[in-house]
Amino acid sequence: MFTHTPGLATAIAYEVIFQRPMRELFAGLYQNIEKEVVARAEALARRPEQGKPNWRTTRKRQTLAGIVALGSKNNDES
């Protein structure tokens, strides 16, 4: 287990050096962050819309739905 999380520049350097994506190099950290992002997207998607929907809010809702679906897909694979 890491004693500290490397900075972004260091993580990218590891990716270059080891020719592996960060999601593989830092798999546990990646999974934890993914779970947090999906949970936040689920919470935002459940919030009722305020005001009249427009193209921007529709696009935001589509993006949130995609993130939630990606999280569900990744959970099914593990």
Cβ(38)–Cβ(71) below 8 Å: yes
SS3 at position 51: coil
The reply to whether the predicted model has a pTM over 0.85 is no
Domain boundaries, the chain: 8-77
Residue 39, pLDDT score: 94
Q: How many residues does the chain have?
A: 78
Share of the chain above pLDDT 90, in %: 60
Question: In this structure, which amino acid lies at residue 6?
Answer: P
Q: At what angle do helices 55-77 and 27-46 cross, to 10 degrees?
A: 140
Residue 50, pLDDT score: 81
Q: Does residue 76 or residue 42 have the better pLDDT? A: 42
